[in-house]
Structure 1
Amino acid sequence: MIKSTLSAFLLLLLLTQVAVAQRLDLIQNIKGRQFVSLNGQWNYIMDPYEMGYYDYRHLPFDQSATGKGGFYDDREQKNKSELIEYNFEYAPQLIVPADWNSQGDIFKFYEGTIWYRKKFSAQPKADKKYLLYFAAVNYEAHVYLNGKKLGVHKGGFTPFQFDVTGKLKEGDNVVVVKADNTRKQDEVPTVNTDWWNYGGITRDVLLAELPQTHINDYKVQLAKNNLKQIEGYVQLSGKEKAQTITVSIPELKIKTTAKTDTSGKASFTIPVKKMTYWSPENPKLYDVVVSSGTDEVKDRIGFRTIEVKGVDVLLNGKSVFFRGISIHDENPLLPGRLRNQGDMRMMLQWAKELNCNYVRLAHYTHNEDMVRLADEMGLMVWAEVPVYWTISWENPETFKNAQQQMTDMVVRDKNRASVVVWSIGNETPLSEPRHAFMGNMAAYTRSLDNTRLVAAALEVHRNGFDVIVDDPLGEKLDLVSFNQYGGWYWGVPKELPKYTFKIKYNKPVVITEFGGEAVAGYHADEETRWSEEYQEAMYKYQLQMLGKVSALRGMTPWILVDFRSPRRQHPVYQDFWNRKGVYSDTGEKKKAFYVLKNFYDQMQQKYK
């Protein structure tokens, strides 16, 4: 057993090294570039039998000798005897970006393949580079341009791109996407989740135009635990890699230059004399300009440090309490994913009304616009990948997938001051293969970015009135962060003050989940489950119980607002809704909201 576990761990280490070299090329700040949006109406074909991808012997058309025969050919009948069993031109349309589940009753529970097609016009220039960029497609996307396959991407919440330089035609072009949200055991997340499996092209599709040699990536942040020094790098992509790069912050009168090495990378450090540091109380963002001889990119970046010292979390060197709440990427008022910045701002504003300074964006990578809004609005962020519950711990491809999703999230969001925690997973059960998988995920995440905290939402175990936190993974994390559902899945609210936490690690404690369900407007006594009074009492007694934890430095109760889930089937109280929100699905504040807000008001005064 020890030998097999060690072998698995060494294999994971090898995969780590391979992945580092694989996909660190995802472009930074796509919306800071010249682009054309391909959002809007896309024709679609629902294909539950995947007849547009496989022939009658179940062999993929795009792997045949001709590469022809699938829906991606977008064929049109050339003569009256020609047989074609599909037609995009007369097919109905879906809105992009958006999930398909919320765009018609026929899609509500649909899991499988839908083909999307979009026609667009292009005038490619010989001296430019072109990227076709997808902010997210759930879950597996096969992408074709003008009948030719560009590639495949797995992962429903992270961006991906294809170089289409030389593949665009002057005038009319067509992009076809096979989107498949089928749940599978070896994927990330796996088959078992507690949220709606929204399928489709759920985020922006952009065609970016860049110089042939362009700024592909950059990092401009304070050095680890150092308020007096900015450090970072600029990475060029293209043939002209020998250039001088410039990083400037006009408001601070900062301007520095550096020369790239043979790989096109230039590193720099900038001493800081005086700066307004980003914080929830003052979310200051600076205009930052990154330029080279051939390209220029503008961004808005905040600067802050985050670290752990003993049982304290220090933001810019000062102890902070995470007054948080968990959030799903879902609009309760309009079914489906959050579609635009208005939806996202609403959710973050609801968190602000609760007096939050912190949000847990669970259980997967949220939209880049959401994180940028958190920058602007002054909300610290816990950012997570969907290593959730019962992942296939011993499958190397599953680990590689999880690692890639972490890579893409860190690469995309590393310049966002709001992101203070990278989370490697949620409620993963103890086992030796899991310890190897998760331990290596923690080490890999630190190798990507050592300036933020690394955490995971752990499980607890109970022995009588003792709540025990003893997970080997805890040694490798910065926070003792765990989920516990006293008063809902175990015990009753009024008994909670009898419980005591036995925590093995001398680190800051952040409760990543607690809560229970209540139907807004249903009133009874505090012992009647599903009532607002029951949820209110549970919050009151939870806070009494947690008050005994001397190292408590934050929490993100579950959850801001009621959300949809196929697991929640009680026909009277749930009807496919998880009702643990402190807001209802219509935006109504439940009684528990006021209990939590009162506690956060007290914590705000205590940690001034």
Structure 2
Amino acid sequence: MMKKILSLFAMFLVAVCLHAQQRVVYTINDGWRFAKGSPFEAHLTSCDDSSWETVHIPHTWNAKDADDDQAGFYRGPAWYRKRLFVDKSQEGRRAVIYFEGANQEVQVYLNGQYLGAHKGGYTRFCMDVTSHLCYGQENLLAVCVNNVYNPNIPPLSADFTFFGGIYRDVYLQFMNPVHLATNDYASSGVYIRTPEVSKTTASIEVTALLTNELDKPQEVIVENVICDASGKEVKKHQMTCCLLAGETKTTVAKKIKMESPRLWDIDDPYRYLVYTRIFDKKGALLDEVVNPLGFRWFAFDSEKGFFLNGKHRKLVGTARHQDYFQQGNALRDELHVQDVLLLKEMGGNFLRVSHYPQDPIVMEMCDKLGIVTSVEIPLINAVTETEEFLTNSVEMAKEMVRQDFNRPSVMIWGYMNEIFLRRPYTEGKQLKDYYHFTEKVARELEATIRQEDPSRYTLMAYHNAPQFYEEAHLTEIPMILGWNLYQGWYEPDINKFQCLLDRAHQVYKGKILMVTEYGPGVDPRLHSYQSERFDFSQEYGLNYHKHYIAEMMKRPFVAGSSLWNLNDFYSESRIDAVPHVNNKGVVGLNREKKDTYLFYQAALCKRPVLAIGNREWKARGGVVNTSERACKQAVPVFSNAKEVELLINGRSLGVKAVENGSAIFEVPFVNGLNQLKATAVVGNSVVEDWLEVCFQLVAADLKEHGADFTEMNIMLGSPRYFEDRTAQVAWIPEQEYKPGSWGFVGGTPYRRKTNFGFMLGSDIDIFGTDMNPIFQTQRVGIQSFKADVPDGEYSVYLYWAELDSNKEKEALVYNLGADVGQILAGNRSFGVSINGMQVLDDFNIARDYGYARAVVKKFIVTVKNGEGLCVDFHKKEGEPVLNAIRLYRNY
């Protein structure tokens, strides 16, 4: 009995000993001190940081700075300082500080001593801090982060905000002096290859980098254990290795055979785990890391598209930026996870991780969910013709490949996105030299990636200027040609899209083709039943996406597509309907699902899908247009059923066939609360969806039905509806006045001229408001606005913004000509009278308030003697304008 007890006790001591030897990894995200600029001697312990801001990682200093009314955002240095207490139990081990991402140049100090630097804002890096760390006492970690423009570090420019800061997790790692290497571009030190995979057999090759940081040689045992998803061991391989003092050595466990492997696939993303361990001669565990293993084989064909495990799969998905509402890029893990789940729930099977490597948890989720991925480095718009730029680009490529090498979901490595969008020269020798250098960068990156990882494909993404890329030979270099196409948005004719696909297929024989970007801007607050390009309405966005996906599905040579973008994201230089935001996402910055998301869900998902569209348009309004005193408006219902039924307030509107993912119902909304219910049968499942809408009905005939009048909110010069979600106010389109009703008299809608015709309203940012669409359109030359409202007291709100400037503005390169042709205003002055009383005489918007500034004037007016309300505009110099009007009945 005593012998058994001693034996158990010995086993316990061994277990404790082995556990103590394992690697310790934990975050140090909380309680940092932060200050912008370059405080004096900020790296020294003597620096007083007591007045600095306390922040927690992930953190960016631009979260609000890049989303305000002031042009630009802070780009420069900032300092982070943290006091670390490290327990003495870790003494004698190696210590590493590990950054998942900091943008974009970083210098690290520990206890006043310089540790090193890193260039590039989107890849991981680590530094050994062993020799400078004090155990059992406090240490000072100081980090300088600088997001200033550097011509030698990509990206040079891009259609997204370059948030500064330590915006991903920071870790401390402690390990034995003999350990798996941490100095190989912040990788795990283990690289797993599967040179042979079939349904019946597979082979695995594990390369491990071992480091001996002791001052004498060490003989070790290297073990690779393959476990299935339940944790059961299925294969083990061991080998011995002798490490010299201070040596990092590569070991390779070749041809570990596996019979009947369960494959990693889109519908069944099965993952094994590979535990790589180092033991000393006595069998004590020195170090261990774990990596995912997915058995799969894949191929792209220039005629037939993409094949995974021998099965044809059309890749359909999105690109993704790492932004979130009012947080910039500083996202906690749960928000990254949510995004990949959103893609999977949409039915997507492909993610273009763009335009830079992202948080490792994104890749982890793609592995788990069966989402094929393409990862790329941020060479965007332009290159700098220096060897330093080339070197930094190549280093980024190596970091990218080695850090995500073991991901079964990764099948494409990318580099260069629209690299000629901002050519510094347009002709002559300088342009030829620029082309030549860009080609040199491309060929060096292609060679580097192919050498690092011959098993995957390479991709470059081009914009619709193929002649530029052909002249520089860039279309000859990568294995996959990705095209960013925006016909029907930046270019006028949506039907040119399919023509360009066919051209690319004909011209680039033997090259694999993907559509790497497409999509219009959509502001879910905007709706239009006369939708048009650049109106940012849900309806135009839906029509656009339906057209694109249908044309790509017809063409087997289109291997796949990634719509732009999964989510809206910050782009400080953009204006559009929402300032500083690119709103091409199928979900918003706050992850609100737009109709375009619901459409893809119905089109792509196999599970039952039923969703009433316009889901967030809950404060709606409109004009009576039926004999039952209701307002009929179109409502889409998205489903993968054959037909759906829609009811309003318990009354059926009939059953309609689903075509291309949706059925459109004309819904008669009544004033007040409306309840919608949709039902459908998908397979053997009955599915339902509900939606409540508060509707504000506006009478068409105020003389006859004006007694119930409470308010109206009219956008001038626009056929759009707009929802003010903060105040739950519904804005509706203008109409021309008819006796007994309401509307404008005279004038024309403001439309700006572009290279491609005239477009609705202005694309400028309107200062002093978060409701740009109300102020970005107007009626020019308006004579009057009349409303034959009943007698009573009214508040009359007149909305203005001067849309014509006396200064030239810089064209936004991403609009590709859609924002040129700016009108320069003269001196506009006019008067305003209400029911014959002069309320404004010499009203000059630009003089009194400036260009692009929201102005709202509220007038209290008494209507009597059945005269109704008449707002007249009196021309003095230039044309009178009105952007919107709100009438509210006080009594």
Indicate the structure with greater helix content. 1
Q: Against the structure 1 CA distance between its residues 117 and 207, is the aligned structure 2 distance closer, same or farther, given a 3 Å change threshold?
A: same
**For 2:74, which of 95, 110, 113 is the aligned residue?**
110
User: Partner residue of 1:142?
Assistant: 107
User: Partner residue of 1:229?
Assistant: 203
Give the distance between the partners of 1:502 and 1:381, measured in 2 at CA.
26
**For 1:292, which of 278, 285, 302 is the aligned residue?**
278
Shift of 1:532: 1.4
**For 2:141, which of 161, 168, 175 is the aligned residue?**
175
**For 1:435, which of 434, 439, 443 is the aligned residue?**
439
**For 1:341, which of 330, 333, 338 is the aligned residue?**
333
Alignment of structure 1 residues 58-457 onto 2, 5 Å: 70-75=41-46, 87-102=48-63, 109-123=73-87, 125-170=90-135, 171-190=137-156, 192-216=157-181, 217-223=189-195, 228-239=202-213, 240=217, 242-250=219-227, 251=232, 253-260=234-241, 264-268=249-253, 269-293=255-279, 294-311=286-303, 312-332=305-325, 334-337=326-329, 339-392=331-384, 394-429=385-420, 431-457=435-461
User: Partner residue of 2:515?
Assistant: 511
Q: Is 1:588 the equivalent of 2:592?
A: yes
TM-score of the superposed pair, with normalisation by structure 1: 0.82
Shift of 1:245: 1.0
Letter in 2 for 1:328: H
Q: Is 1:526 the equivalent of 2:500?
A: no
SS in 2 for 1:342: helix
Letter in 2 for 1:46: K
**Is the contact between residue 26 and residue 172 of structure 2 (CA under 8 Å) also seen in structure 1?**
yes
**Is the contact between residue 67 and residue 580 of structure 2 (CA under 8 Å) also seen in structure 1?**
no
Cα deviation digits, residues 542-579 of structure 1 (max 9, x gap): 23443564411110010111111112124xx1211111
Cα deviation digits, residues 481-522 of structure 1 (max 9, x gap): 121111111123366556663121323321000111111131
User: Partner residue of 2:544?
Assistant: 538
Letter in 2 for 1:121: F
Q: Against the structure 1 CA distance between its residues 498 and 367, is the aligned structure 2 distance closer, same or farther, given a 3 Å change threshold?
A: closer
Shift of 1:242: 4.4
User: Partner residue of 2:282?
Assistant: none
Higher relative contact order (CA 8 A, sep 6+): 1
Letter in 2 for 1:176: A
Q: Against the structure 1 CA distance between its residues 321 and 169, is the aligned structure 2 distance closer, same or farther, given a 3 Å change threshold?
A: same
Q: Percent identity?
A: 24
Cα deviation digits, residues 328-374 of structure 1 (max 9, x gap): 01123x52225222101111111112200111111011011111121
Shift of 1:534: 1.5
Shift of 1:425: 2.1
Shift of 1:247: 0.6
Larger Rg: 2
Q: Against the structure 1 CA distance between its residues 400 and 261, is the aligned structure 2 distance closer, same or farther, given a 3 Å change threshold?
A: farther
Cα deviation digits, residues 151-175 of structure 1 (max 9, x gap): 1111111111111112111211000
Shift of 1:105: 8.6
**Is the contact between residue 225 and residue 307 of structure 1 (CA under 8 Å) also seen in structure 2?**
no
Give the distance between the partners of 1:214 and 1:538, measured in 2 at CA.
54
SS in 2 for 1:501: helix
Q: Against the structure 1 CA distance between its residues 186 and 259, is the aligned structure 2 distance closer, same or farther, given a 3 Å change threshold?
A: same
Shift of 1:260: 3.8
Alignment of structure 1 residues 453-464 onto 2, 5 Å: 453-461=457-465
Shift of 1:589: 2.5
* Structure 1 stretch displaced more, 217-226 or 516-525: 217-226
Give the distance between the partners of 1:110 and 1:493, measured in 2 at CA.
38
Q: Against the structure 1 CA distance between its residues 232 and 498, is the aligned structure 2 distance closer, same or farther, given a 3 Å change threshold?
A: closer
User: Partner residue of 1:34?
Assistant: 24
Cα deviation digits, residues 229-282 of structure 1 (max 9, x gap): 111211101144643311111336211123447652211221121211111211
**Is the contact between residue 275 and residue 288 of structure 2 (CA under 8 Å) also seen in structure 1?**
yes
Letter in 2 for 1:569: I
Letter in 2 for 1:43: R
User: Partner residue of 1:574?
Assistant: 578
Shift of 1:310: 4.6
**Is the contact between residue 180 and residue 288 of structure 2 (CA under 8 Å) also seen in structure 1?**
yes
TM-score of the superposed pair, with normalisation by structure 2: 0.57
SS in 2 for 1:542: helix
Q: Against the structure 1 CA distance between its residues 564 and 337, is the aligned structure 2 distance closer, same or farther, given a 3 Å change threshold?
A: same
**Is the contact between residue 39 and residue 96 of structure 1 (CA under 8 Å) also seen in structure 2?**
yes
Give the distance between the partners of 1:296 and 1:417, measured in 2 at CA.
21
Q: Against the structure 1 CA distance between its residues 307 and 462, is the aligned structure 2 distance closer, same or farther, given a 3 Å change threshold?
A: closer
Number of matched pairs: 536
Give the distance between the partners of 2:451 and 2:477, measured in 1 at CA.
13
SS in 2 for 1:502: helix
User: Partner residue of 2:473?
Assistant: 472
Letter in 2 for 1:553: A
Give the distance between the partners of 2:144 and 2:404, measured in 1 at CA.
27
Shift of 1:208: 0.7
SS in 2 for 1:132: strand
SS in 2 for 1:178: strand
Q: Against the structure 1 CA distance between its residues 358 and 544, is the aligned structure 2 distance closer, same or farther, given a 3 Å change threshold?
A: closer
Give the distance between the partners of 1:267 and 1:367, measured in 2 at CA.
28
**Is the contact between residue 134 and residue 159 of structure 1 (CA under 8 Å) also seen in structure 2?**
yes
What are structure 2's unaligned runs of at least 5 residues? 1-21, 182-188, 280-285, 421-433, 607-639, 641-891
**Is the contact between residue 347 and residue 600 of structure 2 (CA under 8 Å) also seen in structure 1?**
no
Shift of 1:462: 7.0
Give the distance between the partners of 2:80 and 2:444, measured in 1 at CA.
37
SS in 2 for 1:406: helix
Give the distance between the partners of 2:347 and 2:76, measured in 1 at CA.
41
Q: Against the structure 1 CA distance between its residues 319 and 338, is the aligned structure 2 distance closer, same or farther, given a 3 Å change threshold?
A: farther
Cα deviation digits, residues 21-43 of structure 1 (max 9, x gap): xxxxxxxxxxx941232111211
SS in 2 for 1:509: strand
Cα deviation digits, residues 428-447 of structure 1 (max 9, x gap): 12822111111110110011
SS in 2 for 1:411: helix
**Is the contact between residue 496 and residue 541 of structure 1 (CA under 8 Å) also seen in structure 2?**
no
**Is the contact between residue 259 and residue 266 of structure 1 (CA under 8 Å) also seen in structure 2?**
no
Give the distance between the partners of 1:586 and 1:265, measured in 2 at CA.
46
Shift of 1:599: 4.4
User: Partner residue of 2:485?
Assistant: 484
Q: Against the structure 1 CA distance between its residues 339 and 588, is the aligned structure 2 distance closer, same or farther, given a 3 Å change threshold?
A: closer
Indicate the structure with greater strand content. 2
**Is the contact between residue 499 and residue 545 of structure 1 (CA under 8 Å) also seen in structure 2?**
no
Give the distance between the partners of 1:157 and 1:496, measured in 2 at CA.
32
Q: Against the structure 1 CA distance between its residues 544 and 296, is the aligned structure 2 distance closer, same or farther, given a 3 Å change threshold?
A: closer
Shift of 1:587: 2.6
